[in-house]
């Protein structure tokens, strides 16, 4: 029998909601915990692409794009074409973005402290290690998925090129 109380995915979701609630009560004024995480990721890697930020935060591409649009509208971030790839966007914090991050970091620290303090002392390091292992596994799964998408695209491109060559040969014969 399936029990929510024993489901790791459900328990992680409940924990995430607990963290978000603590953040809101601790002064996360005007931004969410996820938006603060995104601001922190941008601060750690100024000029990162949106793809880099997807990997750093674990936020899916479409959600991240929506968040970025809202944050750009609020004046917290600025996007411009990346130097090495005109299709990619390089992201930087603006002065208001840096101020908002500085304003919300105490709330993030409060979230972390309350989450950890909810555990028995002898379980805290194990909890951090487990979360790190899960995050590493998520990154690997993301990287594997990207590699598979690239492989399929390359395969389709080669197939298309092969069909094009065959058509050219047939035209030459006719």
Segment 63-76 mean pLDDT: 94
Q: Does 36 score more than 80 pLDDT?
A: yes
How are beta strands 48-49 and 77-81 bridged, if at all? Answer: unpaired
Q: What is the pLDDT of residue 63?
A: 94
Answer yes or no: are the C-beta atoms of 22 and 114 closer than 8 Å.
yes
SS3 11: helix
Q: Does 153 score more than 90 pLDDT?
A: no
Answer yes or no: are the C-beta atoms of 52 and 89 closer than 8 Å.
no
Q: What is the pLDDT of residue 86?
A: 62
The mean-pLDDT minimum among 79-83, 109-113, 161-165 falls in 161-165
Q: What is the pLDDT of residue 146?
A: 83
At 51, the pLDDT band (50, 70, 90 cuts) reads confident
Q: Which long-range contacts (CB under 8 A, 24 or more apart) does 140-147 make?
A: 142/54, 142/55, 142/58, 143/55
CA separation for the pair 41, 25 (Å, rounded): 23
Answer yes or no: are the C-beta atoms of 88 and 50 closer than 8 Å.
yes
pTM of the full structure: 0.78
DSSP structural state of residue 87: T
Question: Residue 53: which of 29, 34, 70 has the closest Cα?
Answer: 34
The mean-pLDDT minimum among 51-55, 99-103, 167-171 falls in 167-171
DSSP structural state of residue 80: E
Segment 11-32 mean pLDDT: 90
Q: What is the pLDDT of residue 85?
A: 65
Segment 125-143 mean pLDDT: 92
Q: What is the mean pLDDT of the chain?
A: 89
Q: What is the pLDDT of residue 83?
A: 72
Burial per residue of 39-61, b for 16 or more beta-carbon CB atoms within 10 angstroms, e otherwise: bbbbbeeeebbbebbbbbbebee
Within 13 A of 5's CA, how many CA atoms are on the CB side? 1
pLDDT in tens, 94-107: 999 999 999 999 99
CA separation for the pair 9, 38 (Å, rounded): 22
**What is the phi/psi pair of residue 46, to 5°?**
-50, 135
């Amino acid at each position: 029998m399936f029990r929510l109380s024993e489901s790791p995915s459900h328990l992680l979701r409940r924990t995430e909601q607990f963290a978000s609630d603590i953040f809101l009560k601790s002064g996360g004024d005007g931004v969410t915990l996820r938006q603060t995480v995104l601001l922190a990721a941008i601060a750690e890697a100024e000029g990162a692409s949106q793809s880099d930020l997807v990997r750093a935060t674990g936020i899916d591409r479409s959600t991240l794009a929506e968040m970025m649009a809202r944050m750009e509208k609020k004046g917290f971030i600025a996007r411009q074409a990346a130097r090495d790839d005109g299709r990619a966007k390089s992201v930087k914090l603006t002065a208001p973005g840096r101020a908002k991050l500085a304003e919300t970091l105490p709330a993030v620290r409060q979230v972390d402290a309350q989450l950890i303090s909810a555990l028995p002392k002898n379980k805290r390091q194990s909890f951090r290690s487990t979360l790190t292992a899960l995050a590493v596994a998520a990154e690997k799964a993301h990287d594997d998925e990207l590699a598979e998408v690239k492989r399929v695209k390359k395969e389709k491109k080669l197939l298309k090129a092969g069909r094009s060559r065959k058509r050219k040969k047939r035209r030459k014969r006719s």
